[in-house]
Amino acid sequence: MPRDFSYYASKFVKLRVDKASGKPAPHKPILLLAVIDLFEQEIIQRNEIYLSPGLTANFLKFWHRLVSTDHHSNIALPFFHLTGDKFWHLMPNTGFEATIKARVKLRTLPALRSAVKYAYLDTELFNLLSESKSRADLTRVLIQAWFPNRSNDIAETLKYDEFGAIQQSLFDSGGATYSIDDLKDEDRIFVRNAAFRRNVVKLYDQRCAFCKIRVVSWDGQNLV
């Protein structure tokens, strides 16, 4: 079967998702929306999709707007498991080639970052997402299949630059800001940047961005 628009539209409709909780897990379609949005912003220009702060912020942007189930917003799950849909592939870091080939499950961000350099798409799908019309058409297919009646919410979400909001908040408060290209050592940079921590916590309403829980100490201090 030729790997054309129809092929990938069918793949997007028939994503293999976990239904153990009674409701389809939304992780894969949300990751695809986040990735397509980065194509739209021209941030992704090569067939290399890194597990970057920009992608994570985009993933959480769509998650918070669209998901009301009890699923946990762990981007590591779809980043790994999309390989099962046969159009998403993982480039291993040196020394982890056998791990990726054996499809050893990588469920946490630290494990994924240790083993995987970046994800990449089928060349045909990358070319489709690089072109405006086919990208828009595939986005509509994805929305109709997984988020029917949520087109307006998604349109509003697409207008909002989550990573840009963090950057602007840092700038307004006098903290350091970074471009996506600066973030090869993002864990070290962000952990040591107190302004970044303050603004991310504020942006997410004093809640953990992944589990949405707010922890308050005995004296009323937020601990996230």
Q: What is the pLDDT of residues 182-219, one digit of tens each?
A: 444 444 444 445 555 555 555 555 666 555 556 555 55
pLDDT at residue 74 greater than cutoff 70? yes
CA gyration radius, the chain: 18
What's the rounded mean pLDDT across residues 70-77? 86
Return the number of other C-beta atoms located less than 10 Å from residue 73's C-beta: 20
What's the rounded mean pLDDT across residues 91-99? 95
How many residues are there in the chain? 224
What's the rounded mean pLDDT across residues 141-166? 71
Domain assignments of the chain as residue spans, ordered by start: 5-160, 161-224
Give the pLDDT confidence score for residue 70 in this predicted structure. 79
* Phi and psi at residue 49, to the nearest 5°: -115, 105
Give the pLDDT confidence score for residue 221 in this predicted structure. 55
Name the least confident of 25-39, 64-78, 114-128.
Answer: 64-78
Name the least confident of 74-83, 129-138, 166-175.
Answer: 166-175
Q: What percent of the chain has pLDDT over 70?
A: 67
Distance CA 81, CA 106 (A): 9
Distance CA 152, CA 107 (A): 32
What's the rounded mean pLDDT across residues 42-65? 88
Contact 190, 184 (CB under 8 A): no
pLDDT at residue 131 greater than cutoff 60? yes
Distance CA 207, CA 223 (A): 9
Distance CA 65, CA 85 (A): 25
Give the pLDDT confidence score for residue 16 in this predicted structure. 93
Give the pLDDT confidence score for residue 82 in this predicted structure. 96
Whether the predicted model's global pTM rises above the 0.75 cut: no
- Where does the pLDDT of residue 47 fall: very low under 50, low under 70, confident under 90, or very high at 90 and above? very high
Give the pLDDT confidence score for residue 109 in this predicted structure. 83
Question: What is the chain's mean pLDDT, rounded?
Answer: 79
